[in-house]
A and B are shown apart, each in its own frame.
Chain A
């Protein structure tokens, strides 16, 4: 499948969802499914992070980067120091031969 088609289909599954929510002001979802939607980001982000770190051939460096980056994000509450610090930690670990 061509990249352009993939991008178009990504848009086609994203836009209607945004529109749907804005158009359903009075709808009441059962608490279980409201809760399910709330947990989707946590669950998906974690599922994207862990295998990317642990299944990599250079997992020790990535683990160091994510621990340092994660702590920085947690303490500073912002993304930029976390990414930069994590990337620096990655290079630190790499230069140390980890």
Chain B
């Protein structure tokens, strides 16, 4: 439930940005129905606004959603799923659903179950799509989103995803390096490519520093 409060403004903001980028209500909604990935939908909406090319948008989506491999890997270790269950659960898997499944699932009688996972996923899916629709329709009513300064909601929403991840000095360092790197690159390269390069570069830096740290902390 508290997660809904985080999702609603995010979905509305996504929908308003997407509408401002010139997407129709149907297209805005279709992205929530099929892609169903807040961060990449937001990124795509932002990239549509800045006129980035299509391949950049798709590459950014692929990169942003690569983390879902981790969620799936982690879930499938505690929750064995049949093939049809995997096919279904995969469509609705998100950061939030993963978080709820991992934190609350074990507290359920009988532990984490497929029903619990799917229930968490579908409740988030429903709220996300409902909020998208509200935002898409409200976006059509707003006179000129650009004049209202709605564009600032885009970095704010990503900040909302970033802030909880800044747990230690290393994550702050990685965030600063990729953020500043992206700023530098954005002066010479198009948007989608900048995110891809800065994203890979920052994650490599983080992986390099954290594995080196582990190696020095736990000598063989």
Question: Which A residues are within 8 Å of any B CB, using their own CB?
Answer: 1, 3-11, 13-15, 17-27, 29, 31-56, 61-62, 65-66, 69-70, 73-74, 77-80, 82-84, 86-87, 90-91, 94
Contacts and interface: CB of A to CB of B under 8 A. Distances in A.
Given A5-B54, A42-B162, A79 B65 contact: no
A50 B176 CA distance: 9
B39 interface: yes
Given A14-B40, A25-B80, A86-B152, A39 B72 contact: no
Nearest to B167: A42
Contact of A17 (B8, B68, B158): B68
Interface residues of B, number: 97
A4 B156 CA distance: 27
A83 B153 contact: yes
16 contacts: A1-B53, A1-B54, A7-B35, A10-B40, A11-B34, A14-B35, A14-B65, A22-B81, A32-B207, A35-B210, A40-B66, A41-B64, A43-B205, A45-B159, A46-B182, A47-B194
Contacts of A54: 183
A21 B81 CA distance: 12
Interface in B191-220: 194-195, 198-208, 210-211, 214
A65 B203 CA distance: 27
A26 B37 CA distance: 26
Contact of A46 (B39, B77, B152, B202): B202
Nearest to B43: A48
Interface of B: 2, 5-6, 8-10, 13, 23-24, 27, 30-31, 34-37, 39-40, 43-44, 46, 48, 53-54, 57-58, 60-77, 80-81, 86-87, 89-91, 93, 149, 151-166, 171, 174-176, 178-183, 186-187, 194-195, 198-208, 210-211, 214
B90 A22 contact: yes
A68 to B, nearest CB: 9
A61 to B, nearest CB: 7
B206 A52 contact: no
Contact of A50 (B30, B62, B179): B179
A84 B67 CA distance: 28
B178 A47 contact: yes
A39 B203 contact: yes
Nearest to B71: A21
